[in-house]
């Protein structure tokens, strides 16, 4: 058994976005003039990947189908292992997921026949990469005017898409001044202002982000959920002009920026 065969048994619409996310954070974690200890790279990668996919892994059963959760867990464990990483708790859950998926005949007979080999692969020591993995071409299916909720842990936030960069490469988004323990509805955002960013001088400016890698609609991680299209942009008349056009970002950095903006980091 090898990673290519294992991932071939799993849903392609999960393998692609999880591989996309893991490759992106791995490439950034390995960036630098000096080689980082593998333990440091592992910690950085796992932190960002779980921040992105915990909405599924820790989602309540009434919101996330149990089979979907098993598939995501197994796919994450396989993709991380392929990139040289392992999280013991995730691997244990993935091994249980293999049995559960077989019991409910969710995947193919070939997957069931190779279950022992799959488990052996996942529990074997992963081999660290010696080169940065290639990052897939930037592409987004988001549209200008989309308003979406963003879930991070128990908190919900919201973003607005002002425009799409280049040839559908990335959205330019702005963070609403909204936070709640419940997912917003469109009316919550219709008259909502933009959050802005406070600089060291205490002045709050317009703050926009271009998260390259924010791609799929619907989001397979269930983290970004479009609420409406065509809402008015959040008001910015209380903010000073932007410092620059926008910050070049990615989904993981955007999540951390959102947490920081509301003091939830």
3-state class (DSSP) for residue 23: helix
In a domain, 78, yes or no: yes
Is 90 exceeded by the pLDDT of residue 89? yes
Alpha carbon 43 to its chain centroid, in Å, reads 16
Q: What's the pLDDT score for residue 61?
A: 75
Query: Each residue of 107-152: pLDDT tens digit?
Result: 999 999 999 999 999 999 999 999 999 988 999 999 999 999 999 9
Q: What is the mean pLDDT of the chain?
A: 95
pTM across the whole model: 0.93
The mean pLDDT of 94-99, rounded to a whole number, is 97
Listed in order, strand segments (DSSP E) in 51-186 are 146-152, 155-165, 170-175
In a domain, 30, yes or no: yes
Q: What's the pLDDT score for residue 34?
A: 84
Q: What's the pLDDT score for residue 265?
A: 86
In this structure, the answer to whether residues 117 and 151 fall within a common structural domain is no
How many domains is the chain partitioned into structurally?
A: 2
Closest CA to 76 of 20, 31, 138, 149: 20
In this structure, the answer to whether residues 159 and 119 fall within a common structural domain is no
208-211 and 247-249 beta bridge pairing = parallel
In a domain, 133, yes or no: no
In a domain, 139, yes or no: no
Is 90 exceeded by the pLDDT of residue 250? yes
The mean pLDDT of 86-104, rounded to a whole number, is 97
Domain residue limits at 172: 146-261
In a domain, 256, yes or no: yes
In this structure, the answer to whether residues 179 and 116 fall within a common structural domain is no
Is 90 exceeded by the pLDDT of residue 222? yes
In this structure, the answer to whether residues 257 and 179 fall within a common structural domain is yes
* Residues 6 or more apart whose Cβ sits within 8 Å of residue 103: none
* Residues 6 or more apart whose Cβ sits within 8 Å of residue 168: 139, 140, 141
Whole-angstrom Cα distance, residue 16 to residue 11? Answer: 9
* 95 vs 31, higher pLDDT: 95
In this structure, the answer to whether residues 73 and 178 fall within a common structural domain is no
In this structure, the answer to whether residues 62 and 8 fall within a common structural domain is yes
Q: Which long-range contacts (CB under 8 A, 24 or more apart) does 183-189 make?
A: 183/149, 183/151, 183/156, 183/225, 184/149, 184/156, 184/158, 184/227, 185/227, 186/147, 186/227, 186/228, 186/231, 188/158, 189/147, 189/158, 189/160, 189/227, 189/228, 189/231, 189/234
3-state class (DSSP) for residue 130: coil
In this structure, the answer to whether residues 71 and 152 fall within a common structural domain is no
Last residue of a domain, one of 92, 123, 154: 123
In this structure, the answer to whether residues 119 and 153 fall within a common structural domain is no
Closest CA to 99 of 127, 124, 126, 122: 122
For residues 81 and 121, is the Cβ–Cβ distance under 8 A?
Answer: yes
Q: What percent of the chain has pLDDT over 90?
A: 92
In a domain, 140, yes or no: no
Tokens of 238: 């209380």
């Amino acid at each position: 058994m090898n990673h290519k065969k294992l991932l071939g048994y799993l849903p392609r619409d999960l393998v692609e976005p999880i591989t996309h996310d893991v490759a992106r954070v791995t490439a950034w974690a390995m960036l630098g003039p000096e080689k980082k200890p593998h333990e440091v790279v592992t910690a950085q990668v796992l932190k960002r990947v779980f921040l992105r996919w915990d909405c599924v892994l820790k989602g309540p059963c009434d919101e996330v189908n149990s089979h979907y959760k098993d598939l995501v867990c197994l796919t994450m464990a396989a993709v991380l292992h392929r990139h040289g990483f392992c999280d013991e708790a995730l691997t244990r859950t993935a091994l249980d997921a293999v049995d559960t998926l077989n019991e409910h005949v969710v995947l193919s007979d070939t997957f069931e026949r190779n279950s022992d080999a799959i488990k052996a692969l996942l529990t074997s020591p992963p081999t660290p990469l010696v080169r940065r993995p290639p990052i897939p071409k930037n592409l987004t299916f988001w549209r200008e005017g989309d308003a979406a909720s963003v879930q991070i842990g128990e908190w919900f936030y919201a973003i607005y898409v002002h425009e799409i960069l280049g040839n559908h490469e990335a959205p330019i988004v702005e963070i609403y001044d909204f936070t709640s323990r419940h997912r917003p509805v469109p009316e919550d955002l219709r008259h909502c202002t933009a959050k802005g960013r406070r600089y060291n001088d205490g002045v709050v400016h317009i703050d926009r982000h271009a998260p390259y890698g924010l791609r799929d609609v619907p989001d397979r991680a269930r983290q970004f959920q479009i609420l409406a299209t065509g809402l008015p942009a959040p008001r910015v008349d209380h903010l000073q002009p932007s410092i620059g056009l926008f910050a070049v970002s990615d989904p993981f950095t955007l999540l951390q920026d959102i947490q920081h903006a509301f003091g939830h980091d």
